[in-house]
Amino acid sequence: MACKCGSNRIMFIQAHCRDCFNMSYENMDYDGYVLADIGIGSGDDVCLDICLDCGQIQDWRPVTDEVLQEVIESKRYYPKRS
């Protein structure tokens, strides 16, 4: 895997936090399992690939406030099944 900056120095992080995950953003707060569909992992684990040269989270996709609100309200912490 290579970052958009050209670096191959990608660190994988897996943080097993089960239902002790919490996040806050503006007026949104959440405690529980890791939320799915916002690019940070899901369920029991926060998972991120981070470039050690530029700090970019790999494969990050923008998350709108509407999507974040919907994920929090539905307590979606496992990926959608298709």
Residues engaged in binding Zn ion (CB under 5 A): 3, 5, 7, 51, 53-54, 56
**Comparison of 1 and 67: residue with beta carbon closer to Zn ion:** 1
**Comparison of 1 and 20: residue with beta carbon closer to Zn ion:** 1
**Smallest distance from Zn ion to CB 21, Å:** 26
**Comparison of 2 and 28: residue with beta carbon closer to Zn ion:** 2
d(CA 35, CA 32): 8
**Smallest distance from Zn ion to CB 51, Å:** 3
Tell me the C-alpha to C-alpha distance, in Å, between residue 49 and each of 2, 31, 33, 41, 65. Answer: 11, 23, 20, 10, 23
d(CA 65, CA 28): 9
